Amino acid sequence: MCLAVPGKVLEITERDGTRMAHVDFGGVTKEVCLEYVPDLQVGEYTIVHVGFALQRLDEQSARETLELFRQMGDLDAEFGDQWGRAAEQSGLPLPNGVPGGLS
């Protein structure tokens, strides 16, 4: 029910004074009401629920989120607990006197 899926606006139309659009969901096209996001434009992505666009999908935010995920762990690899990682890989206890550790 709360399933809402991103789709791309293909064409904007009007029906009975209501702003509608054809929206593509990865090959399936549906007619969608745009009254709640009236400034949506052809080519933009929108979050659609039961035939209604509820919000413009913020593509920049989507890219930034993915980029953040991609970078996650990179800093840890650079600055993180090197002894701990080596110990985990080797299955050996941490040598005495080294800083950090995973435990």
Q: Which two tokens stand for residue 103?
A: 């435990």
Q: Which two tokens stand for residue 80?
A: 């993180």
Report the Cα 89 to chain-centroid distance in Å: 32
Q: How many CA atoms, within 13 angstroms, populate the side-chain half-sphere of residue 83? A: 11
Residue number, 70 or 96, with CB nearest to another protein: 70
Q: Is 79 in the site for another protein (CB under 8 A)?
A: no
Q: Is 83 in the site for another protein (CB under 8 A)?
A: no
Q: Is 62 in the site for another protein (CB under 8 A)?
A: yes
Start-to-end CA distance of the chain, whole Å, equals 43
Q: Is 45 in the site for another protein (CB under 8 A)?
A: yes
Q: By the criterion CB under 8 A, which residues form the site for another protein? A: 1-6, 8, 16-18, 25-26, 30, 33, 35-38, 45, 47, 49-52, 54-55, 57-59, 61-62, 65-66, 69-70, 72-73, 76
